[in-house]
Amino acid sequence: MQNFRQFEAGPDPFGRKFQILFKWMQTAISLRHADTVDVKFILVEENGGRTEKTIALPHADLLRVAGEVGRKVDDPWCSRLGAMHLRHLVETGEDMEKDLVTVSAADMKAYAESLDDTEKSAVRAG
């Protein structure tokens, strides 16, 4: 994923596509006393409907996964992980009724490995 700030996701199980806009990323301890990094996105449907989703990345899992893939935890990486999970939610319809979705450790590791592969390919190509 090149741009986590604005991208298209879908179609969802109903054939809809969404324009996704990054809104913010914050440490959730200050928001809701949770040990997560929260990444918030605005989803705009083709028909103009709008909703917001917050993707919660548990801090302990972030640290563990970052160590496993040999990467530091930084804002762009967390935002990309959140965007990857949001794209998964849209495409599968999973948890779309929820405003706040926590990423599992297994999913986070899969996203991190995918990002790592993409980044290494870009470096080799560039």
DSSP H or E segment with residue 43: strand 36-45
What phi and psi, each to the nearest 5 degrees, are found at residue 97?
-80, -10
**8 neighbors 46 (Cβ within 8 angstroms):** no
Per-residue model confidence (pLDDT) at position 2 = 58
Q: Give, as one character, the DSSP assignment of residue 35.
A: S
Handedness of CA 105, 74, 40, 21 (dihedral sign): negative
Tell me the pTM.
0.90
Domain extent at residue 120? 6-125
At 14, list the tokens: 């109903």
- Give the total number of structural domains in the chain: 1
Q: Is residue 1 situated within a structural domain? A: no
Give the pLDDT confidence of 78-123 residue by residue, as tens digits.
999 999 999 999 999 999 999 999 999 999 999 999 998 877 776 6
At 9, list the tokens: 């996701």
Average pLDDT over all residues of the chain? 91
